[in-house]
Amino acid sequence: MANIASAKKRARQSEVRRIHNAGLRSMVRTYIKKVVKALEVKDVNAAVTAYHDAVPVIDSMVNKGIIHSNKAARHKSRLTKQIKALSA
């Protein structure tokens, strides 16, 4: 455990941020899962709607530094590819 006051404060702040970031990461996963579930049921309209809801959330998490930009691009690309394959 930290002995210096500034180190104690930093430990408190880190814990609060860790919990907050975990919630945001969970939210991104939930939005992605909604798209995946719509794809599994083969409901194109629901998948497209869920995808359009998920993209801004994914992008905002990139801006906040929760996920890397390449990971976000990879998720969006794969979901788009699956939606296009289902609609064809």
Reported as a single tens digit per residue, the pLDDT across 18-76 is 999 999 999 999 999 999 999 999 999 999 999 999 999 999 999 999 999 999 999 99
- The CA distance from 49 to 79, in Å, is 12
User: How far is CA 65 from each of CA 16, 27, 45, 68, 69, rounded to the nearest angstrom?
Assistant: 16, 14, 31, 7, 9
Q: Looking at residue 70, which CATH number applies to its domain?
A: 1.20.58.110
Tally of domains in the chain? 1
Q: What is the pLDDT of residue 2?
A: 84
pLDDT score of 76? 97
**Residue 1: band (very low, low, confident or very high) from pLDDT cuts 50, 70, 90:** confident
State the pLDDT at residue 9. Answer: 96
Q: Tell me the residue range of the domain where 30 lies.
A: 5-87
